[in-house]
A and B are shown apart, each in its own frame.
Chain A
Amino acid sequence: MYRIRFHGRGGQGMKTAGRILGTAFFNEGYEVQDAPRYGAERRGAPIFSYVRADKKPIDERGIITNPDLIIVADDSLVNIPAAGVMQGLNEHAVLLINSRETAETWQNRLGTKINIIVLPVNSSVPNPAEMPFIGAACVGAAARLLGVVGQSALVDAIHEELQDQGPDIIKANCDRALEAFEYMALYENCVQQRQAASALDYQQPEWIRPVFEKARIAAPTIHAGLTSVQVKTGLWRTLCPIIEYDRCNRCWWICSSACPHNAINVDGSTPVIDYDHCVGCMVCVAQCPPHAISAIPEAEADSEIKKSMQQLAH
Chain B
Amino acid sequence: MTALLEVEDLRVAYGKIEAVKGISFSVEAGQVVTLIGTNGAGKTTTLRTLSGLLEPLAGTITFDGKPLKNVPAHKIVALGMAHSPEGRHIFPRMTIEDNLRLGAYLRDDKTGIEKDIQRAYDLFPILGERRKQAAGTLSGGEQQMLAMGRALMSQPKLLMLDEPSMGLSPIMMQKIMATITELKAQGTTILLVEQNAQAALSLADQGHVMEIGKIVLSGTGQDLLHDESVRKAYLGED
Tell whether A and B belong to one assembly.
Answer: no
B residues neighboring A (CB under 8 Å): none
A residues neighboring B (CB under 8 Å): none
